[in-house]
Amino acid sequence: MKKFACIVTLSLLFPVGTRGQTVVEGAVTDLLGRAVDAFVTVRPKGAGGILAYTDTDERGHYRLSFNTQADSVAVTASGMTIGNRVRLLANRSQRVDFRVSEQQMELREVTVRAEKIRQQGDTLNYNVAAYQQQGDRVIGDVLKRMPGIEVSDNGAIKYNGKAIRKFYVEEMDLLQGRYGLATNNINAQDVATVQVMEHHQEKKMLRGKEMTDDVAINLKLKNSAKGTVAVNTMVGGGWQDPPHTLPAREGAVGNQTLTSYNVFAPFLTGRAGGGAVLWTAEAVGMYFAKTRQNMTVYKGNNAGDDVSRELTSHYSINSIPLYPFCPTGVIMPSGSGLSQKRTFDNRSNIVSTNHLEKLSPDKEMTFNAAYYNDRIRREGYAESNQFLSEADRLLTQETMTSETTLHNLSAQARYCNNSSGAFLADVLKVDAGWNTDRVSSLLSSSRVDVQGLPVADYGDEQVAQHFRRPTLSVSNTFNTTQAIGRNHFDLHFSAGYARRPNTLTVGIEADPPLAIPVREGAESDSEDVTSPSFSANAGGGAVYRQDLTSHHIAARFNTGYNLRVGDYFKFNYGINASANLHGIETDLDGFTPPADGGWQDPPHTLPTREEVVSSQTLTSYNVFAPSLTGRVGGGSLNDLWYNTYTLALGQSYKYEIHDFSLTLGLPLELYAQTLDDRVRDDRHGYVHLLFAPSLSMNWSITRDLWFNAGAHYSKTVGDPGGIYSGYIMSNYRTFQRSYVEQLSETQNLGAQASLRYRSAIHAFFANAGFNYRRTHDNQIYGYTYEGATSVVQGVNQPTVANSYSLSGEVSKGFDFLRSTIRAFAGYSLSASERLIGGQLYQYHARAVSGGGNLSFSPFEWMGIVYSTGFSFNWSKTLTDTASPQTGGWEGTTVRSHTQRLSMSIFPTKKLTLTLAAEDNYNNLTATHRHAWFGDAAAKLKLKRVDMELQLNNLFNQHRYSRVTYSGLDIFTHTSQLRPRNALFTIRFKLL
Amino acid sequence: MNRRIISILLALAVYIGAFAQQNQGEVIPSTKTRRGLKEKQVGTTIMHVDYAMNADSIGQEQTYIDKQRLEVGRDCAKYSSLFLRRFVGSTRPTQNGQAILRGGKPGKNNAYWNDIQFADLFFKDGQVTEYVSMPMYHESNDCQFTEPCPPQQWTLTPREEIVICGYRCQRATCRWRGRDYVAWFAPDIPVKRGPWRFNGLPGLILKLYDTNRFYTFEAVGLKKVNGPMMLYDFPYSKSTRQRVRKLQRTLQVNYWKATAQTTQFPDKPFEQLEKE
């Protein structure tokens, strides 16, 4: 009985029993019973290849024996005279005879003509010659035309919606993530094939064992480009029209009229004047051999080309993140949203050297160093129209000019032993920067009622900001994976140190107060405005100096033991530990700290304020500094160490069959924080137990179609930004302190799903994704206003935010007209709450975006690229004053649209002419809603020399305005553009 | 003596002109190769398959070492070089009728002879006959030999598939004459043949390479035909595979040493397809 029970139990536990060997035999004969020369194969029904095969003998007999777990099998008799005859059978030993008539073999005739994309397992091979056009110089130009591959403006590459995780040249990672150097400098004609490797596993020892979802790109060079030193150089010069100064005032933002001043000219005199001489130069040396690779690059220009993008690291080496605490910065002109070349006023130089030495087939050393120097000037004008209360709005205008000087040096050395038996890598990394920002600006602000009539005018201020922000960081990362039988053990250890000794100095000078037009009957609060703003300086101004030195020491230790259990299960257990030590020393001069050292409630009583205010942030326009200093407490010094430690038991459980995997993560983390505030002589600590479960699923539905989905939950406690009791000048408008009495708690719940499809044969790629995120906080930041002063504070009131997004993308290559088409679309929805003036408002935002591009060649002598993109953004807030017809919702739609048409003509094989036109539209811009740009270029390719003449901004557009809207506030940013310019370059190959 | 001087000059010219990109020896083909040979019908071709040999980029003939054609008949098959056929077809006698001028051989490294390209294979009744044309100054060693051609001992990998020429192909591996090979065959094409002497898989081999990738063959064209299978009427003397392979290897390793007994040129590394 016990034996029977055991058998039953085992049968229940292992419902899929192991099948024995199956034997299928029989004969293949013609209709007359004569033997046929054939062979017989067997395969599982559905997916899967041939398991066994045999020939028929002289009597037509055959016998097949095989093992498979499939319920059914397909037995096929094949031969040149009979074609393929298939029988579906149950998977059991049996006799199967085939009586067949003669049948002509079916054959799809094929002639390969430079196959554009070729699939080989998980690797897609893009034939570079098939996508290259006459005007293309570097491989990055050709990558943009390949279906399924997307190159973003910053040089990052995505394949079918996924960012690539590795970039190789001849299967070696010379550039360690800075692959912009390769895509912008390796000649297209030197590359035979671009390989996209799906499910790429970097560690050789795990290939075929641990499948990843990572994508890598490998450039296969032509033989002529291997083993030879190539040196390419370029020099060029040009001329740029004189810049236009920004106008005094645009006149309107949305439906609100702004008053006008004419005080901006003095700030712009530095930029106004004659035209400018442009220059550009580069020298690129490359060597790619089997055991050694080198790429050394110098590039410099003042022509608006942001060469520093080539130094952007697009994937990390899994080094420890270092972020020395620094909440200080300057307020600068914001970006235009246009292509950076339109606005970038630069004097850039980069030098980079990269060397790889292959010590043996498995071992390699890599060294990368880069230096970047730049002087960037920006000029802009910003307007904001902000909701103060349901009766009033705050209008501000600010004109700014800035100059940023950058000196950044980074170096990295890596050793890697990547063999089929073990993996070991160690990376030593050093980064240093000596950077400064200088900004001059003029700020004016006023308050208006809902009809736009002025209530108060807060005058003008001239502001000078100077920020020195040197940084230094050093880190080392070690990783090894060792095989232990069929299991493997992974160990990761990284440690680093970073330091920021920064100083922000601000000088503010108030212009004489202006006569304030006050509407009749309105209560005047002008006495606050007319009082001297900067009592600290008898001359009517103030100087603030913020010194901040922060240190970050970090270490991380992860282990993982991967255990295979049976054929279908993998368990992973590990101990993970980390330590983050933040040292913060600050000293603020020129600011008088509040006398009482404590927080006083703002005038508007917050409805649900319960306990201690956890953090305080004062955002003040400085005309109100005296009134604030009288009622806000706290010192101007900080000297503290804020440390966090984690110790976690990592555990994950994976069920995997060949097409499907399900992973459950159940990490358990002990999280500790300590604060040692030496100014307040305060020491305390917190300990929490955190749990962050996750579930993910991957399913290969077919060979070309994948589905994955996942969900996760996590909780974070505390915030490094909520720890300091002394005031810090975040920027000249904001003096902030933040002190933890009760820790913030944030719970995150997220879910995602994505579907990806690719067909190499049809050059068709598609992907779609869905994301959901829910955040629950125990605190919310509330905004209250006194005059033009906004006060931001956190209060202990729970709040929930939800967001949903859908996105999709398709791309397809056609042989017809050598065309490639790409289209994308996205939709997002979010719902959250805002606390303004003590009242809670519901806030909803929706966005729809879409676009695409089309590249085709209607004739051999012409190539056309058209790209377009649009976005509609709706955001609205539930208010009492909104029209009942809208259900109480108040909001606006922002529509923007951009399109660009570029046409290249090839009159001869040596000459390429390119004309491009571009339109940018925004429906909320008061004037110039359409901004048109025109560019032209001519390239002449001779035997050893290439010449190019570029004419940019032919219509001489001199400014561009971008409007954004967030429920109740409207922001307009106007940027000064690079004027019309011409640049002539000559390229030649030295070696 | 003259022969030796000419050889050295030729070697210098070739050596200086193309010292890179070699995966074969620097052996000069004969202008007399197959000159004047008549063709005879040996069967009926029902389909043919073209293979790119050692291609850098499939579809671009200039990147192939050779383009070869498998002609399949009901009871026989033939395997030969298309580039060599074009090369032979471009033969023109000079005005005095003595010398032979030949156009350029298509493909990569087209100045050279190699042992795979200059051999025609004919399969019938489980036997293969190989007709071998030797390089310049070695025409007297042109020969043929016949031997059994059994299928390789293949191991199937049912889970691995790729698409070649629009056909789903399954992976199989074997070890044959000193090398490990990977083949991708199309079960939908019921022809148990492939490039060179590889055969026996349950479907046409559309791609084959050794694991070191010294030799790769990949189908670049398939066509149904119904025409005569023509074979040169080679008047070559009989030999054995061992002797032929040894001579081919000697020529590839150092053609000039084998031809002019000069030691001025170093041996070239050579990976023979059939090592045993």
Domain containing residue A35: CATH number: 2.60.40.1120
State the smallest CA–CA distance between residue B113 and chain A in angstroms.
Answer: 20
CB contact under 8 A, A52 and B156: yes
Rounded Cα gap, residues A547 and A588, in angstroms: 6
pTM: 0.71
C-alpha distance from B171 to closest chain A C-alpha (Å): 9
Does pLDDT of B92 surpass 70? no
Indicate if A73 and A123 belong to the same structural domain. Answer: no
pLDDT value, residue A388: 77
Cα(A704)–Cα(B168) distance, integer angstroms: 13
Considering only the beta carbons, identify the residue of A80, A119, A127 that sits closest to B57.
A127
The residue out of A74, A100, A126 marking a domain boundary is A100
Which chain B positions have a beta carbon within 8 Å of A658's beta carbon? 159
- Across the interface, do B58 and A112 touch by the CB < 8 Å criterion? yes
User: In the predicted model, is pLDDT for residue B22 greater than 60?
Assistant: no
**Does the residue A413 lie in any domain?**
no
pLDDT category at A247 given cuts 50, 70, 90 is low
Which residue of A110, A211, A658 to mutate against B (max B Cβ within 10 Å)? A110
Cβ contacts (< 8 Å) between B222 and chain A: which residues?
A: 107-110
- Which chain A residues are Cβ-neighbours of B157 within 8 angstroms? 49
Pair A82, A121 in one domain: no
| Closest Cα in chain A to B50 | A111
Other Cβ atoms closer than 10 A to A595: 12
Name the band, by pLDDT with cuts 50, 70 and 90, for residue B61. Answer: confident
Q: Which residues of B touch A127 (CB under 8 A)?
A: 57-60
Collect all residues of chain B within an 8 Å Cβ-Cβ radius of residue A111.
220-221, 223
- Cβ separation B166–A107 shorter than 8 A: no
Cα–Cα distance between B87 and B98 in angstroms, integer? 18
Could you tell me which chain A residue has the CA closest to the CA of B158?
Answer: A49
Q: What is the pLDDT of residue A223?
A: 79
Neighbours of A984 (CB within 10 A): 16
List pLDDT tens digits, range A376-429.
998 888 888 888 777 788 888 888 999 999 999 999 999 999 998 899 999 999
Nearest by Cα to A636 from A677, A678, A592, A680: A592
Q: Is the pLDDT of residue A579 over 50?
A: yes
- The per-residue pLDDT for range A403-414, each reduced to its tens digit, is 999 999 999 999
Q: Which of B46, B62, B163, B191 is the best substitution to test chain A (most A C-beta atoms within 10 A)?
A: B163
Instruction: Tell me the pairing of strands A22-30 and A94-95.
Output: parallel
**Nearest one of A536, A484, A477 to A510, comparing CA atoms:** A536
What was the pLDDT predicted at B158? Answer: 81
Asked whether residue A47 is domain-assigned, the answer is yes
CB of A939 closer than 8 Å to CB of A950: no
- pLDDT for the residue numbered A257: 30
Q: Are A954 and A221 in contact (CB under 8 A)?
A: no
Helix (H) or strand (E) segment spanning residue A569: strand A569-589
Q: Does A856 reside within a domain?
A: no
- Our count of domains for chain A comes to 2
* pLDDT of res. B91: 66
- Asked whether residue A108 is domain-assigned, the answer is no
> Does the pLDDT of residue B258 top 60, yes or no?
yes
* pLDDT given at position A882: 62
- Does A115 sit within 8 Å of B162, measured CB to CB? no
The Cα B195–Cα A19 span in angstroms is 38
Q: Which residue has the tokens 């255990």?
A: A563
Backbone torsions φ then ψ of B115, nearest 5 degrees: -70, -25
Task: Assess whether pLDDT exceeds 50 at residue A605.
Answer: no
For A926-965, write each residue's pLDDT tens digit. Answer: 667 788 899 999 999 887 899 999 999 999 888 888 888 7
Buried b (16+ CB within 10 A) or exposed e, A843-881: bbbbbbbebbbbbbbeeeeebbbebbeebbbbbbbbbee
Whether residue B18 is predicted with pLDDT greater than 60 in this model: the reply is no
Token pair of A563 as six digits: 């255990």
Q: Identify any residues that bridge with A24 across adjacent strands, giving them in sequence order.
A: A64, A94
Q: How confident is the model at residue A269 (pLDDT cuts 50, 70, 90)?
A: very low
The larger pLDDT score, comparing residue A468 to residue A635, is at: A468
Residues A123 and A93 in one domain: no
* Residue B97 scores a pLDDT above 50: yes
Q: Mean pLDDT across chain A, nearest whole number? A: 82
Residues of A in contact with B187 (CB under 8 A): 41, 43, 49-50, 76, 78, 84
Q: How far is CA A654 from CA A562, A564, A657, A698, A710, in A?
A: 10, 9, 10, 11, 13
A973 occurs within a structural domain? no
pLDDT at A583 over 80: yes
| Same domain as A94, residue A43 | yes
> What are the pLDDT digits (tens) for B189-213?
999 999 999 999 999 999 999 998 8
CB contact under 8 A, B221 and A41: no
Q: Which residues of B touch A50 (CB under 8 A)?
A: 156, 158, 170, 187, 202-203
Predicted confidence at residue A596, as pLDDT, reads 46
Q: What pLDDT is recorded for position B45?
A: 93
Chain A residues whose beta carbon lies within 8 Å of the beta carbon of residue B221: 110-112
Structure confidence by residue, pLDDT tens digits, A76-90: 999 888 888 898 989
Quote the pLDDT of residue A265: 36
Question: What is the CB neighbour count within 10 angstroms for residue A258?
Answer: 21
Nearest CB to A110: which of B159, B165, B190? B165
How far, in Å, CA of A301 to CA of A299, rounded? 7
Closest to A575 measured CA to CA, from A650, A644, A482 = A650
What pLDDT is stored for residue B102 in this prediction? 64
C-beta of residue A314 within 8 angstroms of C-beta of residue A157: yes
Going from the C-alpha of B131 to that of each of A691, B118, B143, B230, B266, the distances in angstroms are 74, 8, 6, 14, 29
Residue A700 has pLDDT above 90, yes or no: no
Mean pLDDT of A172-193: 93
State how far residue B187 is from chain A, nearest Cα, in angstroms. 8
pLDDT-derived band of residue A613, with 50, 70 and 90 as boundaries?
Answer: very low
Question: What is the reported pLDDT for A185?
Answer: 94
Average pLDDT over chain B reads: 84
Q: How confident is the model at residue B49 (pLDDT cuts 50, 70, 90)?
A: very high
Q: Looking at A530-539, A814-823, B168-177, which range is the least confident one?
A: A530-539
Select from A177, A203, A223 the last residue of a domain.
A223
- Host domain of residue A127: 117-223
Radius of gyration for chain A, computed over Cα atoms and rounded to the nearest angstrom: 34
Domain-located, residue A193: yes
Between residues A371 and A621, which one has the greater pLDDT? A371
Nearest to B57 among A78, A119, A192 (CB): A192
- Which residues on chain B are in Cβ contact (under 8 Å) with A81? 74
**Position A720 pLDDT exceeds 80:** no
Nearest to A678 by CA among A640, A729, A727, A718: A640
Residue A534 pLDDT more than 60?
Answer: no
pLDDT at A933: 92
Residue A829 resides in a domain: no
The pLDDT of A93-117, averaged and rounded, is: 82
Q: Which of A191, A223, A255 corresponds to the end of one domain?
A: A223
pLDDT at residue B80, rounded to an integer:
95
Query: So what's the pLDDT on residue A522?
Result: 37
Tell me, yes or no, whether A126 and A183 share the same domain.
Answer: yes
Q: How far apart are CA A550 and CA A324, in angstroms?
A: 6
CB contact under 8 Å between A224 and B21, yes or no, is yes
Cβ–Cβ below 8 Å for A127 and B58: yes
The pLDDT of residue A655 is 92
Residues of B in contact with A107 (CB under 8 A): 47, 189, 222-224
Whether residue A124 sits in one domain with residue A68: no
User: B158 vs A192: CB contact, 8 Å cut-off?
Assistant: no
Does the structure show a pLDDT above 70 at B101?
no
Residue A217 lies in a domain: yes
Same domain assignment for residues A50 and A85:
yes
Same domain for A131 and A173, yes or no, is yes
**Tens-digit pLDDT profile for residues A848-863:** 999 999 999 888 889 9
Read off the pLDDT band of A62 (50, 70, 90). Answer: very high
CB-based burial label for A522 (10 Å; 0-12, 13-18, 19+):
middle
Whether residues A81 and A127 share a domain: the answer is: no
Q: Which residue of A has its CA nearest to B62?
A: A114
Indicate yes or no: CB of A107 within 8 angstroms of CB of B224.
yes
CATH number of domain containing A186: 2.170.130.10
Distance CA A193, CA A130 (A): 10
* pLDDT of residue A334 exceeding 50: yes
A256 pLDDT more than 70: no
Of A78, A112, A224, the CB nearest to B220: A112
Strands (E), A590-704: 615-619, 637-657, 660-665, 668-677, 682-691, 694-700
Verify that A135 and A212 share a domain, yes or no. Answer: yes
Q: Say whether B54 sits in a helix, a strand or coil.
A: coil
> Are residues A93 and A138 part of one domain?
no
The Cα of A108 is separated from the nearest Cα of chain B by a number of Å equal to 8
Question: What's the rounded Cα separation, in Å, for the pair B65 and B109?
Answer: 6
Of A50, A80, A760, the CB nearest to B74: A80
pLDDT at residue B12 is higher than 60: no
Does A602 have pLDDT greater than 50? Answer: no
Q: Are residues A95 and A176 in the same domain?
A: no
Question: Residue A823: is its pLDDT beyond 90?
Answer: yes
pLDDT of residue B25: 63
